Structure 1
Amino acid sequence: MLYLEHLNLVVKDIPQALKFYQVAFPHWRIRGEGQSTWYGKPRRWLHFGDDDIYLALSDHGESDIRDNRAFQVGLSHFAFVTNELTNITQRLMAAGFVGVQGDGAAGVRNNTYFIDSDGYEIELVEYLTADIGQKNDY
């Protein structure tokens, strides 16, 4: 078995970062938190998720992340699959986050992109079919 357990995101301010993720994933919880040092720099860390997947947030960020409209090497975006895209999108927009509808694929998938408070782009995908061939037809 192989699956993605967590993403480790360096942020500037954990409470500010949590505002997005708590609205997007209200069923998640703080799994653990503490303080440590990373290559000599003090940091606060927090794990936010459920029993299987979580985001590891660390507050020692000092600069902005790469511009997704440019061509620097680095993380472009990450995606979560949901069966309630409309509800999550409405919650996030009501909380002040701006979503941009993706191209999707008629009858196959819908998707929306959001930017969190640190500039990470998060894609939310809702598949309308269980057919793997259709899901992977780009």
Structure 2
Amino acid sequence: MTRIEHANITVPDLEAATAFLAVVAPDFVVRHEDRSSQGYRWRHVGNAQCYFALQEPQPGSEAAPALGRYAGVGVNHFGLEVSGLEAMMRRLDAEGYARSYPVQREPGRLRAYFYDRAGFEWELIEYSTDDPAQRYRYDS
């Protein structure tokens, strides 16, 4: 079996990144945090199965040049399977998080896309079936 155990992301603001994850992944907790020998802070936020390793930029570093959405090399978005997506969308809207794409209501799943405060895009997916043929439909 293979699964993603963690993703390491450099974020401009640890607190803002942690606050977003608290909304979209309420079962996630701060597992550990510290300061590296290079001087930047880092934090692991997750549950018993997986986590995001969040770190601040190293002191004196510059932001990477912005690329167009889904253009060039880089991460396009992160996808999280969630429960209670309708209520989660209302909370994200109320807290001012921007939607990046219209809600996708499909047989077997509901998908919503939001940007966090750092501009990372997150796909939130709620499945209504355990049938893989319905969960992972690729209708064109």
Task: Please report the TM-score for the alignment, with normalisation by the length of structure 2.
Answer: 0.84
Q: Which runs of 5+ in 2 are unaligned?
A: none
Q: Which runs of 5+ in 1 are unaligned?
A: none
Residues matched between the structures, number? 134
Which residues in structure 2 correspond to 1:1-138 (within 5 Å)?
A: 1-37=1-37, 41-60=38-57, 62-63=62-63, 66-69=66-69, 71-99=71-99, 100-105=101-106, 107-138=107-138
* Counterpart Cα distance in 1 of 2:94 and 2:15: 18
- Per the alignment, in what secondary structure is the counterpart of residue 101 of structure 1? strand
Letter in 2 for 1:74: G
The percent identity for this pair of structures is 34
In structure 2, do the counterparts of structure 1 residues 43 and 10 end up closer, same or farther at CA, with 3 Å as the change threshold? same
Following superposition, the deviation at residue 30 of structure 1 comes to 0.7
Map Cα deviations across residues 2-22 of structure 1 (whole Å, 9 max, x no partner): 211111110111112222111
* Counterpart Cα distance in 2 of 1:84 and 1:65: 36
In structure 2, do the counterparts of structure 1 residues 63 and 44 end up closer, same or farther at CA, with 3 Å as the change threshold? same
Map Cα deviations across residues 62-84 of structure 1 (whole Å, 9 max, x no partner): 31574453511111111011221
Map Cα deviations across residues 75-105 of structure 1 (whole Å, 9 max, x no partner): 1111011221112112211211122434342
Letter in 1 for 2:104: D
In structure 2, do the counterparts of structure 1 residues 9 and 52 end up closer, same or farther at CA, with 3 Å as the change threshold? same
Task: Please report the TM-score for the alignment, with normalisation by the length of structure 1.
Answer: 0.85
